[in-house]
Amino acid sequence: MIRTISAILLFLLACNHIISSNAFSADTDVFTVCSSTYESFLGNLEDSKKNVMQKLSRECFEKFLRKVSVLSDFDTTKLLEDFDYKTMVSSFNITSQRETSTSYGASVCFTFNKKNVKPFLLNHGFIYFDKNYDSLLIISVLDEETPSYIWSGNSVENFGLIKPAFLKPDLEDLIKLRGINFLNAKYEDFLPILKKYGFEDLAITIVKKTDSLISIKVRLIGNNHNEMHNLDCRDKILKDSGVDDEYITFAILNFLDSWWKKDLSTFKKCALDIGVKHKGE
């Protein structure tokens, strides 16, 4: 027991960290990321514990990077080489752990240092944005003329800084939408549904699929904005991979997250290329 406590104290003193088992502060919703479970077997508890904390802090930093930056062709090698958990992590919470005299395993939630991570990412050429967007209702339609709806997004809790809410298969709502022209309708036409679910903004995505092309029209509409974007995908591997609603949902959320972060450079390439690559990883 004494050795276990000493190992924890040594790690804390080395990193200037505070273990917190209480609720996180308001903005840690963005800055706090939780890890998977990882075990280390280095022959003694102290070294194994240090190895686990270093491994999981880097894993969580990569997740945090995907949250506050955009998916792109940026090379993260140099960034991760320069990552120093002593300055990048402000606190952590061990959510579960297992230890023996020779090994240690844990899952941990890390809260990153808001003051330090922004200049660190910007200095390495990465986009940085840390404000959540949780007032967006998404209506995803297959074939505008005889619409059917994509519901798979309902299982997605968050994507980057987007907290998506897809229209649920409610018969009353579907009847209300039946006579609406999704591309031309006014913001006021959607207010009953927006108010029902407590949202202010709406993303309408209209998806058309053929053997060689997936086309997604994205209409972003709110009280003060009305934008239209087109995503086209002529992907040679579509026939082999079988792009389904999950891929399309990923592409839509990837686009919306980048739009919210005011950086659409990712979409110089086909958005579904990223989706296919992502699912295969």
Distance between CA atoms of residues 36 and 27, nearest Å: 22
Mean pLDDT for the stretch of residues 34-63:
93
- DSSP assigned state of 150: -
pLDDT at position 103 over 90: yes
Q: Are 117 and 180 in contact (CB under 8 A)?
A: no
pLDDT at position 69 over 80: yes
- Is beta strand 89-99 parallel, antiparallel or unpaired with respect to 226-233? unpaired
Please tell me the CATH code under which domain 2-123 is placed.
3.10.129
The string of DSSP letters for 60-123 reads: HHHHHHHHHS--SS---HHHHHH--HHHHEEEEEEEEEEE-SS-EEEEEEEEE-HHHHHHHHHH
Indicate yes or no: pTM above 0.75.
no
Q: Which two tokens stand for residue 261?
A: 């972060």
Distance between CA atoms of residues 119 and 110, nearest Å: 19
- DSSP assigned state of 159: B
The alpha helices in 109-152, defined as continuous H runs, are 114-123
pLDDT at position 268 over 60: no
Residues sharing a CB contact under 8 Å with residue 276, sequence separation 6 or more, in sequence order: 235, 237, 241, 243, 247
- The ranges assigned to domains in the chain are 2-123, 136-280
pLDDT at position 146 over 70: no
Mean pLDDT for the stretch of residues 208-227:
82
Backbone dihedral angles phi then psi of residue 235, each to the nearest 5 degrees: -115, 120
Backbone dihedral angles phi then psi of residue 248, each to the nearest 5 degrees: -65, -40
Q: Are 185 and 219 in contact (CB under 8 A)?
A: no
Least confident of 11-20, 59-68, 79-88: 11-20
257 in helix, strand or coil?
helix
Residue 8: pLDDT band by 50, 70, 90 thresholds? very low
List, for residues 110-137, the tens digit of each pLDDT value: 999 999 999 999 998 888 999 988 888 8
pLDDT at position 12 over 60: no
The CATH class for the domain spanning 136-280 reads alpha beta
Residue 277: pLDDT band by 50, 70, 90 thresholds? very low
Distance between CA atoms of residues 89 and 72, nearest Å: 24
Distance between CA atoms of residues 204 and 182, nearest Å: 7
Q: Are 194 and 137 in contact (CB under 8 A)?
A: yes
Return the closest-CA partner of residue 140 out of 225, 202, 91: 202
